[in-house]
Amino acid sequence: MDYQDFQRYIKHLNKKNSVVLIEGKRKVKQEDRIIIPKLGEQLAKDFPDIIFRTGNAKGADELFAQGVSNVAPERLEFILPYKTHKKGNRIEKAKYYSLDEIKISEEIVNQTKQTSGKNRHMIELYLSGIRNNFTMKAPYLLRDTLKVIGMEGVISRADFGIFYDDLENPLKGGTGYTIKICKENKIPIVTQNEWGNWIR
């Protein structure tokens, strides 16, 4: 998908506040540390109605958000696994939502269990109230599902996903999981293979 295709897609949605995910790997190549915020800034300028959603992790999440916040911090949404997550690193005017402030829907629980495969038991233990080293990954998976499919009356469903992935070892970890949730819900995504050509 080229930039014109993306522009057409957003226009075709005909929505006041489309939601675009901007996120990816914690480990970012040195040469990409400049282009990620540059894209965030460009998107925020070119699309004044888009809401940009991310997960507040180090690396790509932080860099994309940095670019958007240079233009429109009030159009940033952060979905957190718990409310104290990176509390000292907040962007003024951005919106923050956390799992421990939201009653998670059955749809989010079911999709997370279904997509996380071998981690299904971990999710069940976490939801039953068990907090230990085994279950510590569960809120991150639930958060990633929430980021994508949203929850009626609380957080809108995402319309598009822009990801920074490890192209040599793609679709792994939290980024791979989130991409998978997007694909399962027929939400189009691009990685730097495509958006790398969008930057002016």
Torsion of CA 68, 69, 74, 80, to 10 degrees: 90
Rg of the chain over all Cα atoms, to the nearest angstrom: 16
Domain limits of the chain? 3-195
State phi, psi for 131 to the nearest 5 degrees. Answer: -125, 110
As a whole number of angstroms, the distance between CA 39 and CA 24 comes to 13
CATH fold label, 3-195: Rossmann fold (3.40.50)
> Tens of pLDDT along the chain (200 residues)?
999 999 999 999 999 899 999 999 999 999 999 999 999 999 999 999 999 999 989 999 999 999 999 999 999 999 999 887 777 778 999 999 999 888 899 999 999 999 988 899 999 999 999 999 999 999 999 999 999 999 998 999 999 999 999 999 999 999 999 999 999 999 999 999 999 999 99
Q: Do residues 148 and 178 make contact, with C-beta atoms less than 8 angstroms apart?
A: yes
- Residue 59's nearest CA partner among 22, 25, 21, 20 is 25
